[in-house]
Amino acid sequence: MEKPSLPKGTRDFGPAQMLKRQYLLQTIREIFTKYGFLPIETPAMENLSVLTGKYGDEGDQLIYKILNSGDFIQGVEQNHLQEGYKKLIPKISKKALRYDLTVPFARHVVMNRNDITFPFKRYQIQPVWRADRPQKGRYCEFMQCDADVVGTDSLLCEAEIVLMIHEAFAALGITDFVVKINNRKILSGIADAIGKEGSEAELCVAIDKLDKIGKEAVLEELKTKGFTDSQLTRLLPVFDLKGNNAEIFPLLRTILAQSSVGLKGIDELEKVFTLIEKSGLGNASIETDLTLARGLSYYTGAIFEVKILNVQMGSVCGGGRYDNLTGVFGLPNVSGVGISFGIDRIYDVMNELNLFPSQESNSTRLLICAFDENTFMHALPMVTKLRAQGINTELYPDPVKIKKQLSYADDKKIPFALLIGEDEMNQGLYSLKNLISGEQFKVTFDEVVHKLI
Amino acid sequence: MEKPSLPKGTRDFGPAQMLKRQYLLQTIREIFTKYGFLPIETPAMENLSVLTGKYGDEGDQLIYKILNSGDFIQGVEQNHLQEGYKKLIPKISKKALRYDLTVPFARHVVMNRNDITFPFKRYQIQPVWRADRPQKGRYCEFMQCDADVVGTDSLLCEAEIVLMIHEAFAALGITDFVVKINNRKILSGIADAIGKEGSEAELCVAIDKLDKIGKEAVLEELKTKGFTDSQLTRLLPVFDLKGNNAEIFPLLRTILAQSSVGLKGIDELEKVFTLIEKSGLGNASIETDLTLARGLSYYTGAIFEVKILNVQMGSVCGGGRYDNLTGVFGLPNVSGVGISFGIDRIYDVMNELNLFPSQESNSTRLLICAFDENTFMHALPMVTKLRAQGINTELYPDPVKIKKQLSYADDKKIPFALLIGEDEMNQGLYSLKNLISGEQFKVTFDEVVHKLI
């Protein structure tokens, strides 16, 4: 007999996990909505040509391809086999699973450009698939949760992303976090200032590893990328620019005095801070981090990351501004800014910090336990009335031993049980048991409703 | 330049559709929860071996297979190509997209049998994929929405499914519908009674087409399946058994007098009706339909379908009781009963009948329009305060022409706009415009909050 299993890197979510995930996603969804973001969804399957070439060579390898239906080897010749699997793929596969939400979003914007009102504020919460080697915290199928505004350069969007992050974490009960912010134009300016104009990409990729491999190794990597000793010497003080904006920005303006793009980056960053401050954000946890780089990516302005401070965990949110979302699909100059919430990591943090509320409100509140067939029938209209009052109610489907019924309630974390034996039925006085405290009361039906509503 | 497109049979959902879909699914989700069902989710990708052989030969063809990652043709020989594509599939594909929610649910139950509390009431709302030829109302990627109770024979589960359907349609505003109910044991009994013991399957497949092809064609099909004229003559009166249960059941008991399984089917059906009646369902729209068969399927007891009467549309819900959900995975005797809501069809019906509420509560309520940079900055803390009151608020990200800002509000169906010019700012009296009625008032900030809360 076949013993079923799950593909590596995939997961089932049982009810207890699902209730937590629903709470987490619903909380974020409501905050997105409060800020004017509206949902879209795109299909899991995209045309392979839409995805190919968007994620670099390595990314292309990690896209799951779907075999054409029917006789997929029709037209495949013997010699095609010898040319290797990469050349064979487009012959036997036309579709693939989405790899992220950004490329499908770009495709959606291009295909619907005439119907979309810009600025377009959309959020999207859907799974993505990557044929990556699974490891702790890395899955082949996982949820992404993105919000983007496209079609405007306004720095209010950056500011609102920072506000939204604060509101989301406050709502989730996560208090000890910091939003790190930087600007790619500043990193560009730094490359200019140390005499390596145009080397922003190499600089970002290397700096991005600072946390992981340390300063020495980063400098070593930059050396192999052609940065000279004197350039690196000029870079070092930038790493050490720490403190609040009033301390950092004046020094930075001096360092970047000759780089117009660098100065523009500082202006943008200052404006974002001003907009946040004017918005009246209390308890702001924001920090300019000149070593925040976000690696290889298409960002051109502000970049963000969120770190949670009281747990061991990489960044839980990341995002930034980009200049050209849809250029690859023939629609140039669509700029925007987005943020992505790392749902799996935030879930783990909340579990570790015990921040999920009890599941009560989203599952059964009351189990009615009947002692026999008679009381079972007596209970039927009660169930209907309780549900009509909005109380999530179950009647145990068979009048089996009460112990078994209560054990069901226990496993399902149902907080109340109503016991109905012959006496209870005849007197109209039922035993309401609080399964958390163990207390038990004799109550009329109306009192049950009143107590649980 | 590449012009992007969607794979045939797949869809994007923009914000307007998504808000409706969220409303529809959330309504059903809340009712599932009220009845004690809890959510699970399974991965889109299952091992191909888990899915193969569960849906018949035709179904196997319609499963989307995922190409193995990396060098998938390693080990594939020239002669494998000649053996045809079917034999090649397991060599180059180990994973596939789920085809329905039932098989993954069965797999989940088997893999978690020791942790699950039975009876297990689960719901699952996730997309499934079928490599079917797309046509109107039939997609290659679509949402399924299932609720099942497994691990109990109690007929209360059948009754509660009928109650739940009534509650769901009432909540959605669909009033003109009928739940058709039958029992596979009765169909078995009918096969017995007409002298074709064991031919229930052929009978069901043929009867299932009654609506589509008519009585004559059904009889013709049964003839080709070996039903004799005299058997068909005995079958005919059953088709014509119409009316309420008090009329049907006595006649049916006579017809099935010699079939113990048939009589058991009648008993079950009567019990379900009794449980529904005792539960006090008002305005019940239930009808015994002896020609309801649900085609080729694994049902063994009650079967259901829901028809909406005031629109042209096939059945919008279907389900039934099964004896052996998990036998194929080595866990015998797990019986259960389930219902599946046809989300796409219900969505279309609600659109046609104009049953979706306005999207207001789930999107932006107020757009603040600033005339210039000064008033824009003035508006920032107002936005924060409005959001803190739970009012979904946007500030247009640039102080561009008011006409453009209002056109944004219009496109996004935002019901209110707050206009802030220099005078308004200085006087603390803003212009609140109702964008639906066109009315405009001068209001203080507190009045805005009060009006929109």
A279 to chain B, any CB pair closer than 8 A? The answer is yes
Residue B52 contacts A, CB cutoff 8 Å: no
> Least CB-CB distance to A73: which of B81, B127, B384?
B81
DSSP state of B444: -
Q: Which two tokens stand for residue B374?
A: 């000064």
- The count of C-alpha atoms lying within 13 angstroms of the C-alpha of B74, restricted to the half-sphere facing its C-beta, is 5
Asked if A95 has any chain B CB less than 8 Å from its own CB, the reply is yes
**Cα–Cα distance for residue pair B453/B444, rounded to 1 Å:** 14
**Dist CA A350 CA A344 (whole Å):** 10
Chain Cα centroid distance, residue A423: 54
Q: How far apart are CA A67 and CA B304, in angstroms?
A: 36
Among B residues 6-25, those touching chain A with beta carbons less than 8 Å apart:
6-7, 10-15, 18-19, 21-22
3-state secondary structure of B179: strand
Provide the residue-wise pLDDT of chain B in tens; the chain has 453 residues: 568 999 999 999 999 999 999 999 999 999 999 999 999 999 999 999 999 999 988 899 999 999 999 999 888 887 777 888 999 999 999 999 999 999 999 999 999 999 999 999 999 999 999 999 998 888 999 999 999 999 999 999 999 999 999 999 999 999 999 999 999 999 999 999 999 998 888 888 888 888 888 889 999 999 999 999 999 998 888 888 888 999 999 999 999 999 999 999 999 999 999 999 999 997 899 999 999 998 867 899 999 999 999 898 889 999 999 998 899 999 999 999 999 999 999 999 999 999 999 876 679 999 999 999 999 999 999 999 999 999 999 999 999 999 999 999 999 999 999 999 999 999 999 999 999 999 999 999 999 999 998
**Interval A256-282 mean pLDDT:** 95
By Cβ distance, the residue of A81, A154, A381 closest to B78 is: A81
Question: What residue spans in chain B does CATH classification 3.30.930.10 cover?
Answer: 11-176+310-359
CATH (residue range B11-176+310-359) = 3.30.930.10
Q: Per the CB < 8 Å rule, is B10 touching A393?
A: no
In B116-234, which ranges are E strands?
120-129, 141-150, 177-183
Q: What is the pLDDT of residue A200?
A: 87
Task: Give A147-164 pLDDT, tens digit per residue.
Answer: 999 999 999 999 999 999
pLDDT at B76: 85
Q: Which of A31, A62, A73, A329 to mutate to test the interface with B (most CBs of B within 10 A)?
A: A73
* CB-closest option in A43, A122, A330 to B10: A43
pLDDT (0 to 100) of residue A314:
87
Q: Which chain A residue shows the shortest CA-CA distance from B33?
A: A363
Task: Output the pTM of the full model.
Answer: 0.95
Could A330 and B36 be called an inter-chain contact, meaning their C-beta atoms sit closer than 8 Å?
Answer: no
A89 CB within 8 Å of a chain B CB: yes
Provide the pLDDT for residue B306: 97
Contact present, B402 and B450 (Cβ < 8 Å): no
Across all residues in chain A, what is the average pLDDT?
Answer: 94
Tokens of A27: 């909380």
Low-confidence winner among A62-66, A389-393, B35-39, B84-88 (lowest mean pLDDT): B84-88
Tell me which of 3.40.50.800, 1.10.10.10, 3.40.50.300, 3.40.50.620 is the CATH number of domain B366-452.
3.40.50.800
Q: Does B442 touch chain A (CB under 8 A)?
A: no
Residue pLDDT, tens place only, B46-67:
999 999 999 988 899 999 999 9
Nearest-angstrom CA–CA distance, A424 and A209: 69
DSSP string computed for A126-162:
EEEE--PPPBTTB-SEEEEEEEEEES---THHHHHHH
B144 and chain A in contact, CB less than 8 A: no
Q: Which of A4, A329, A362 sits opposite B107 (nearest CB)?
A: A4
Interface contacts A/B by beta carbons within 8 Å: 293
Task: Identify the pLDDT of residue B236.
Answer: 87
CA distance B125 to B342: 11
- Amino acid letter for position B130: R
| Nearest Cα to Cα of residue A322 among A106, A111, A131 | A106
- Asked if B73 and B92 touch (Cβ cutoff 8 Å), the reply is yes
Window 201-230 of B: residues touching A by CB (8 A cutoff) are none
Identify whether the C-beta of residue A294 lies closer than 8 Å to the C-beta of residue A339: no
**pLDDT score recorded for residue A360:** 63
Q: What stretch(es) of chain B map to CATH 3.40.50.800?
A: 366-452
Contact B12 A122 (CB under 8 A): no
